[in-house]
Amino acid sequence: MKPSKLPIPDVLLFEPQVFKDERGYFYESFQLKAFQQAVNREIHFVQSNESFSKRNVIRGLHYQVSKPQGKLVRVVKGTVFDVAVDLRKNSPTFGQWAGALLSDENFHQLWIPEGFAHGFLVISDSAKLQYMVTDYWYPQYDRCIRFDDPDIDIKWQDMAHTDIDPIISFKDQAGDSLAGAEVF
């Protein structure tokens, strides 16, 4: 697991070493010691989640205002543009976003620490994501910021390389603006 810092240094992209041959491939998708060394702290994952979505679905930007979750996200089928938004009000990167293409072909994973909102756009016909989280889901603390908030200005269209007609849940359509959101 080779870590790379994104424009927001606490958000890390992990690139595993993949061993391919005529039979297929093998790679180590997670190794606790290497991961904790890369994030420079002890991490305990408590839950693993899976999400399936169709092309042009945008999920997010989700976070928990209390009992925040760190997330290690990977795609097991398809391609997504995965995004983290810094919601730590005392951070020099507050309100900024960092993103990466994750796919079943590049095997990359994105570490999104606590204090960030998370979202993604499905670029392939469909996508299946798996992600481990550092705390449980608490519906009473669940919050959402709109995917199209102009103060954040995520470049979804640029990553899709075409115009998209996004498919958004009612919950996500009703998300707050960054200016009105509860932050850390």
Tens digits of residue pLDDT in 57-80: 999 999 999 999 999 999 999 999
- Tell me the torsion sign for CA atoms 171, 110, 77, 149: positive
Decide: residue 93, CB within 10 A, 0-12 exposed, 13-18 middle, 19+ buried.
middle
The CATH number of the domain where 12 resides is what? 2.60.120.10
Does residue 82 surpass a pLDDT of 80?
A: yes
Average pLDDT of span 162-184: 94
Average pLDDT of span 36-63: 97
| Residue 54: CB atoms within 10 Å | 12
Please give the tally of structural domains in the chain.
1
Does residue 113 surpass a pLDDT of 90?
A: yes
168: confidence class by pLDDT, cuts 50, 70, 90: very high
Decide: residue 124, CB within 10 A, 0-12 exposed, 13-18 middle, 19+ buried.
middle
Q: Give the pLDDT of residue 58.
A: 97
Active-site hit among 63, 108, 118, 131: 131
Does residue 128 surpass a pLDDT of 80?
A: yes
> What does the alpha-carbon distance between residue 168 and residue 74 come to, in Å, rounded to a whole number?
21
For residue 42, being part of any structural domain is answered with: yes
- Residue 81 is part of which domain span? 2-173
Does residue 98 surpass a pLDDT of 90?
A: yes
Does residue 158 surpass a pLDDT of 90?
A: no
Does residue 2 surpass a pLDDT of 80?
A: yes
Active-site hit among 62, 63, 108, 118: 62
Does residue 123 surpass a pLDDT of 80?
A: yes
Please report, for residues 22, 39, 179, the alpha-carbon distance to residue 100 in angstroms, rounded to integers and kept in the order given.
29, 18, 25
Q: Give the pLDDT of residue 92.
A: 98
Contact 119, 58 (CB under 8 A): yes
For this structure, is 118 an active site residue? no
Task: Report which of 106, 97, 117 is spatially closest to residue 158, judged by C-alpha positions.
Answer: 97
The alpha carbon torsion through 175, 141, 31, 119 (nearest 10 deg) reads 0
Residues 6+ apart with CB under 8 A from 7: 93, 96, 98
For this structure, is 131 an active site residue? yes
For residue 126, being part of any structural domain is answered with: yes
159: confidence class by pLDDT, cuts 50, 70, 90: confident
Q: Give the pLDDT of residue 62.
A: 98
For residue 181, being part of any structural domain is answered with: no
Average pLDDT of span 153-180: 91
